[in-house]
Each structure stands twice: as C-alpha cells, then as structure tokens.
Structure 1
Amino acid sequence: MGAREPARPRLGVFKFASCDGCQLTLLDCEDELLALAARVDVTHFLEASSAVGTGPYDLSLVEGSVTTAEDAERIRSVRAASRRLVTIGACATAGGVQALRNFADVEEFREVVYARPEYVETLATSTPIAAHVPVDLELQGCPIDRGQLLEVITAYLAGRRPDVPRHSVCFACKRRGIPCVTVTRGTPCLGPVTHAGCGALCPAYGRGCYGCFGPSASVNLPAMIPLLRSDGMSDEDVLRLLRTFNAAKFAALEDGGASAEAPS
C-alpha cells in the first residue's frame, strides 16, 4: 500500500456580531481561494457551506464582536478548539460600528429600534474578541484587505510569522506618490494615526482618511487632535471622526493619555 497523504491543516471561519464583509473578502479571493482550498481542509465556514465541522482547528478566523452573553460563551469554545486564532476586521478587533453603544444608553437604543425590545437580549457594550480570549493576531480593516488575509493564511501554513505592516496610512501615501490632502487641500485626515492596509484609498481620491483600519502601531492623539481642530473641525466633528469603525480602540487611546486633548 502507498503512503497515506498527511492530513491537511483544518481551517475554521466563525461569525459573531458583524456584517459578513470580512468573510466575503475571503470568498472574493477567487483564483487564490481555489489554490487555498487544495491546501487546507475548510472544516467550518457557514458563509460558504452549510456543512458544520467540529474542531480542533489549526487556524480559526473570527469575524465580529461580542455583543451577547451567548457570544461570550461561544468564543471561549472556539478558542479552546483552535491552535491559532486570528481576528479579522474592525468588529472583531475593536468592537466595530456597534461599539458606539458603549458611549450611550443601550436600553434607549433597544426601545427605539425594535418593536418588541423585551425579546432582544444584548450586552450593554460591544467588545473585541481579544477582550474575552487570547488572540494570536489581529487583522484590522473595515473590511480587511484581501492581500493581508492571504498573507496571514499562507504564513501560518508555512509555519512563519505573517508579515503585516504596522505603519500608518501616511507611509502608503508616500509610497504611491499621493500628495498629502491635509497639506495641499486643508482636508482633515486620520492617515497619521491609522493602520495601513487600504492602499491609501481615500487620499488617492482627494479625501481624508476615515480610520477604517484602526489605530496604527504608534499613535499620538494628543498631537493629532489639535491638528484636526486647526483644520476647522469642531470638538463634535473630531469626536465623530474618531468614533466610527474603530470607536472603542480610539476611545481607549484617548483614555490612555489623550483625554486631556480629546473633546468631551
């Protein structure tokens, strides 16, 4: 008898509170997805297949934030069954847009949005996966970048550390030869404090960065916020700009030392 082929690494993809956009990024890999499917056993991925596999998983990709008590329990089960766990997207890494509830009264939201709010069970906050279980890598973005996702998966298959840039969007603008929209147009831009990964998409079209990829590795909000004000933004405008896709992460940075300069 011939030698048995070695078992392929098992991949699990899981969804929590999110819009599914980051899972769709994986499906949008198209040609690369075919090559990937030949290298891994996609054991659990409900966005792509109704087949429900069980762990253990060599690599788990988790999209979405924790917004219910059931979510908090389920992510612990996923972590226990996963050799490596990578969170993908702003919801999983920062609580997402739904983390705006963290700065308001969730009961008021529930009363306004739902016709029968008594049937809706939810936590008062939306929190990232890392607030509940250890995470091996956070892949930021809203949605994530397809190239970065493929790098993470192939790196773990090859047994090496993924090479994901930690610099800011400003570096991407320089590399692409994009003029600084703040200097040339006076346009407010979060590029100096935002993680690279989008390819400087908005500045390439003359728009300021909205912070879709969350804070970069080195962030100086006490210096950034006065610059935004000097570009004509009110305190309310600055607050709204910071509290969008990655509201909780930027707020944590404010609490960690920028609160004196942040609008109240």
Structure 2
Amino acid sequence: MDTPTARRPRLGVFKFASCDGCQLTLLDCEDELLGLAAQVDIAHFLEASSAVEPGPYDLSLVEGSVTTAEDAERIRRVRAESRHLVTIGACATAGGVQALRNFADVEEFRAIVYARPEYVETLATSTPIAAHVPVDLELQGCPIDRGQLLEVITAFLSGRKPDIPRHSVCFACKRRGIPCVTVARGTPCLGPVTHAGCGALCPSYGRGCYGCFGPSGSPNLPAMIPLLRSDGMSDEDVLRVLHTFNTAKFAAIEQETGPS
C-alpha cells in the first residue's frame, strides 16, 4: 500500500514598492533554487511565473514598501493568508530610498515629476511592512544577501531559527582581515553602525561602508556622527550618507538619541 506523500510547504513571494532587486536575488540562487523548488510549492511568485495559486501560504517573502492606500490594504490580505511572513530588503524593512519623501512635501514631488499628477495616487509616506502588519523576521540589505536568504528558507524547512548575524560590518572586516579604512586612511565609513551581511564588500575595495544593510542592533550614532565629521564630512554630507537606502531606520535612531 502506498504511503501518502507529505504536503510540501507553499511559498509565496510578493512585491510592493521596490526595484525587484531582492526578488532577483532569489532567482540568482540558480543551482540552489532548483533544490529549493523540489522542497516547496512556489504558489505565488510573479517575478518567476505568471501561474498564481491562491493562499494560504506557509511562508511568504515580501519585498517593497507601502506607498499607496492599495498597498496598505493588500499587505493585510497577504498577512492574513501567510503562516509566516518575512520581509526582505531595505524597502520592506525600512521604507527604502523612497522614504526620503517622508521628510519633504510629496505633493511638490508629484507636481514636478508627473505631467498629470492628478492621476497619481500615493501616500505622503513610504513605510516598512512592519508598520502595517506583524512580521516574523526582517532580512535587511539593498539588495539582500543570497546566503542569508537561503539560510532563512532552509531554517523554515528544518523547523529551526535562522542563523542571521546581528553584528556590525566592522566585525566582518576583522574576520576577513581587511584593514580598517577609517584608521588606516581616514576614510569615512558607516561600518561601526551598519548590520553585517554584505561580507564587508566596500571596505574590501578600500571604500567606506554606505550602510546598505541598515543599522545594526543599537548603533551609537551620537559617537558615529562626530567621527564622520572628523574624517572630513560636512554636516550636509553626514545627512546624505544616513538618508539613503535605510533612511527611515537611521532617522528613527537619530530621533531617539537626539542631535549629535
């Protein structure tokens, strides 16, 4: 007598306001993706296939920020259909570079950019998914690291907690034997306050970290900002380097710690 085949977990991948780069990271897994596809049913992933199956989904990966009223409604539906929901990338975890609108007049932006702004419906802010629904895990990065993404999915399939590092880029530099660009060259670097995950890519080429993976743990911005100034950055430069991919998260920390 044949034994019944166990149901494979159902995977959903969803896009909100974003550049698609984090979804492409999943597709770039190539050989690993073939093995993954044998262990899950990819029920919803428009970047890969137009074939869509309705929920519920055992694991949902969500890329992008909430920038429209429709987005806010749709993410609630995705959450209701998802047993586990993981946000991937700076847009989904911090609002993305589009969150720069949060510090200006979005109506002015809309009037300047679009010939017929009255046809463009948008919220005044770009916000992370966690601002709207409960999130089980945030995977930071712009884009995310493929190794970390595979670790999250593998951990889910194995029923264990993902092993995602919480240390800073400085720790990654030490592990790779990369000389500190700030100490050795006086190069401004956000490594001390940035979440690891890129493998210290920029410092490995002698460049300072740009903060692509967002703030790590409890970053000490009151100590970091004067260091950036001492390395030759103006107040305007400091503001710009903190207000990029993860502007909303860095801004929130600035508000908590006060001006530096």
CA shift for structure 1 position 53:
1.1
CA shift for structure 1 position 218:
2.6
List gaps (5 residues or longer) in structure 1. none
**What is residue 125 of structure 2 aligned with on the other side?**
125
The one-character-per-residue Cα deviations of 1:91-118 (angstroms, maximum 9, x if unpaired) are: 0000000000001110111011111100
**What is residue 222 of structure 1 aligned with on the other side?**
222
Distance 2:40 2:203 in 1: 37
- Aligned pairs for 1:41-80 (under 5 A) are 41-80=41-80
**What is residue 199 of structure 2 aligned with on the other side?**
199
CA shift for structure 1 position 4:
1.6
For the residue of structure 1 that corresponds to 2:143, the secondary structure is: coil
What's the C-alpha RMSD, in Å, of the aligned pairs? 0.6
Distance 2:126 2:215 in 1: 18
Please tell me the residue identity of whatever aligns with 2:233.
Answer: M
Please tell me the residue identity of whatever aligns with 2:15.
Answer: K
Distance 1:127 1:15 in 2: 14
TM-score by length of 2: 0.99
The one-character-per-residue Cα deviations of 1:211-255 (angstroms, maximum 9, x if unpaired) are: 000000130001100101111111110000000000000000001
Please tell me the residue identity of whatever aligns with 2:101.
Answer: R
**What is residue 115 of structure 1 aligned with on the other side?**
115
Distance 1:81 1:174 in 2: 42
Distance 2:256 2:61 in 1: 29
- Aligned pairs for 1:243-254 (under 5 A) are 243-254=243-254
Distance 2:116 2:20 in 1: 25
Distance 2:46 2:232 in 1: 46
Distance 1:204 1:251 in 2: 27
Distance 2:175 2:218 in 1: 19
Please tell me the residue identity of whatever aligns with 1:147.
Answer: G
CA shift for structure 1 position 260:
2.0
For the residue of structure 1 that corresponds to 2:60, the secondary structure is: strand
**What is residue 260 of structure 1 aligned with on the other side?**
259
For the residue of structure 2 that corresponds to 1:32, the secondary structure is: helix
**What is residue 134 of structure 1 aligned with on the other side?**
134
**What is residue 173 of structure 1 aligned with on the other side?**
173
The one-character-per-residue Cα deviations of 1:127-176 (angstroms, maximum 9, x if unpaired) are: 00000000000000000000000000000010000000000000000000
The one-character-per-residue Cα deviations of 1:58-99 (angstroms, maximum 9, x if unpaired) are: 100000000000000000000000000000000000000000
Distance 1:200 1:184 in 2: 16
1:14 aligns with 2:39: no
Please tell me the residue identity of whatever aligns with 2:51.
Answer: A
For the residue of structure 2 that corresponds to 1:39, the secondary structure is: coil
Please tell me the residue identity of whatever aligns with 1:127.
Answer: T
Please tell me the residue identity of whatever aligns with 1:165.
Answer: P
Please tell me the residue identity of whatever aligns with 1:167.
Answer: H
- Aligned pairs for 1:155-166 (under 5 A) are 155-166=155-166
**What is residue 237 of structure 1 aligned with on the other side?**
237
List gaps (5 residues or longer) in structure 2. none
TM-score by length of 1: 0.98
CA shift for structure 1 position 52:
1.4
